[in-house]
Copies of this chain bind each other. A is one copy, B any other.
Amino acid sequence: MTERVVPPARRRRRRPTKQGVVLSEELIVATALRLISEHGAEALTVRRLGHALGADPSSLYRYFRNADDLMLAVADEMIGRVLREWRPGGDWRADLRDLGLRMHAGALSHPQATVLSAYRVTGRVHEIGAVEAILGVLRGAGFPDAEAVRIYHAFIDTTLGFAALDAGNAALPRAAREAEQRVWRETYAGLPEETHPHIAATVPLLAASMRGSAYPTALDMLLAAAAARLARVTREP
């Protein structure tokens, strides 16, 4: 049996589809991303993607082993777009802060795709590039290997976790999102001081805070803790 998917390196022919489109891995991924951001995550089906490309759905299986494989390629492309614009400046804490904020923002610009891919390990070029870059920043800063790996893991998963959370919220249908805003302004604001003293005392602050993401706060706290560890480690090797 010949393999259905031919590795990109061995591809030779660029045969157009009946509708005249020349398929490629890049075109498929780009179209998938467009489909997701235009019509929502549930719009991404093999059939619809084939239709949007002007190709038979089964043709996509010449490029990806299955739908999950395609999803990973989409996720990796998103990482790549963020990484391509990040320029580390030499200050580890500022660099990681910048990268984290960029990844979070990048994820939120395609919330539907983020919801489907934030928790995936792609093993593809861009993801590998990100791992190498972050580890490089941490090791370059003087973190011992074990500590660098621990902090890398906490950093990347905090970032991806917030990305998934905030993207999930952003991807909610309009009505549901507005209903949640109302919960803070009405349900929580109306709780009596006798039964819920702490909420009653802080509800204006609370409602204001919950409107935005806590990612910057969490990121800064994470980096502050990392800096404290680094100071302790470098003082007594």
Contact = CB atoms under 8 A, between A and B. Distances in A.
Interface stretch (A5-13, A48-56, A153-161): A153-161
Given A158-B161, A165-B118, A224 B217 contact: no
A22 interface: no
Of A151, A165, A184, which is in contact with the most chain B CB atoms at under 10 Å from its CB?
A: A165
B118 A168 contact: yes
A183 B225 CA distance: 30
Contacts of A21: none
A123 interface: yes
Contacts of A139: 198, 201-202
A2 interface: no
Contacts of A225: 220-222, 224-225, 228
Of A123, A158, A168, A184, which is in contact with the most chain B CB atoms at under 10 Å from its CB?
A: A158
Given A222-B222, A225-B222, A228-B224, A121 B180 contact: yes
A165 to B, nearest CB: 4
Chain A interface mostly helix, strand, loop or mixed?
helix
A233 interface: no
Interface in A133-180: 135-136, 139, 145-146, 148-154, 156-158, 160-166, 168-169, 172, 176, 180
Given A149-B206, A209-B150, A165 B218 contact: no
B218 A157 contact: yes
A205 B139 CA distance: 13
Given A149-B209, A161-B162, A120 B198 contact: no
Interface string A173-201: 00010001001100110010000111101
A170 to B, nearest CB: 9
Given A149-B209, A157-B213, A183 B123 contact: yes
23 contacts: A118-B164, A118-B165, A119-B169, A120-B172, A128-B188, A131-B188, A132-B198, A135-B199, A135-B202, A136-B198, A139-B202, A145-B202, A153-B214, A157-B162, A157-B213, A157-B214, A157-B218, A160-B165, A161-B162, A161-B165, A221-B226, A224-B225, A224-B228
